[in-house]
Amino acid sequence: MENKIVTKTADNYDISAIHTISKGKGLVLWLHGITVNKDEYLNFFSDGAKYLYDYGFDSLRFDFRGHGESSGTSLDFSISGQMLDIESVIDYLFTYYKKNELRINLVGCSFGAPPAIYSALRYPDIVQGITLIAPVLSYKRTFINPETDWAQSIFNKKTLSKLSKTNKLYVNDDFPISAGLVEEMRLIEPDLALKQVKQDIVILHGDSDTMVPFSVSRDIADSSPRIRLVSFRNMDHGFTDIDDEIGTSKKSKENKKRIYEIIAEQYI
């Protein structure tokens, strides 16, 4: 069963969410990346919720402000805003489930990884574990001092000089971000925060990611015995094979299924 809900944030944004209810063996909270929505790219999250449903797991996935069906524009999107959006969703979950019985497993993809990390620190009593997929673990190495060609084409001297005048930096043709978000990227360090997390951490990352550098995940995993890194050979950003942008190849489908299996093995 799927229930469509809307929560209200402390700063008055409407957050659109879908609560998938199974047998209540546990709950996965899915945190999507930038420019996409609660279903994630190529329905990665909506298909994942269906996969876990068959194992008796509930899911909740939602649109961050400025994305999907939630209120606001892309210029309203921020890292602090992500945390307020999550707060509103967790308040709903406290109401739906008994507060002292609520246990959450976080799955954060790409730009959804940092708020997963900070949520684990903020809610240590209810967050059991974290799975990070193709995660942005360093804003600096991913965006501010970018290491991939994709990010270098977006974050460079020319675009950053325009940002100070227009308050717009286009991540793609339809999604400008604000100077405020870029400034947050300069200041916030999720890689350092990750070292304070006490819950189990699993990172799933393709070694051929053209958007978020795999080397960051590798370096961070090497620095901590508590972090399990599962690398996927020739996988690009998300779950797709390096030669498959639409996720229909045999290898892409195998990657997707394997990711779901790893999530299920951890939480079931």
Residue 101 clears pLDDT 90, i.e. is over it: no
CB 45 within 8 A of CB 38: yes
More confident residue, 17 or 100: 17
For the stretch 29-43, pLDDT in tens is 999 999 999 999 999
**Integer-rounded Cα radius of gyration of the chain:** 17
Token code pair at residue 167: 């308050």
Residue 60 clears pLDDT 80, i.e. is over it: yes
pLDDT-above-70 percentage for the chain = 100
Q: Which helix or strand (DSSP H or E) is residue 181 part of? A: helix 179-187
Residue 268 clears pLDDT 70, i.e. is over it: no
Q: Number of H helices and number of E strands within the chain?
A: 10, 10
For the stretch 208-236, pLDDT in tens is 999 999 999 999 999 888 899 999 999 99
Confidence of residue 155 (pLDDT cuts 50, 70, 90): very high
Amino acid at the residue 50: K
Strand 104-109 and strand 58-62: the pairing is unpaired
Token code pair at residue 255: 């990657």
CA distance 9 to 96: 17
Q: Which helix or strand (DSSP H or E) is residue 44 part of? A: helix 44-53
CA distance 139 to 114: 9
Residue 144 clears pLDDT 70, i.e. is over it: yes
- Specify whether domain 2-267 bears CATH 3.40.50.1820: yes
CB 232 within 8 A of CB 201: no
For range 3-18, the mean pLDDT: 98
Neighbour count for residue 200 (Cβ, 10 Å): 16
Q: What is the pLDDT of residue 25?
A: 84
**Conformation bin of residue 43: beta by default, left when phi > 0, alpha when psi is -120 to 50:** left
Domains of the chain: which residue ranges?
2-267
Q: Which helix or strand (DSSP H or E) is residue 250 part of? A: helix 250-267
Token code pair at residue 24: 């209540």
Query: Quick one: which of 38, 39, 28, 40 has its CA closest to 237?
Result: 40
CA distance 81 to 160: 22
Alpha-carbon separation of residue 12 from 7, 76, 147, 149, 160 (angstroms): 10, 12, 36, 37, 30
CB 231 within 8 A of CB 208: no
Residue 99 clears pLDDT 80, i.e. is over it: no
Q: What is the pLDDT of residue 152?
A: 97
Q: What is the pLDDT of residue 226?
A: 87
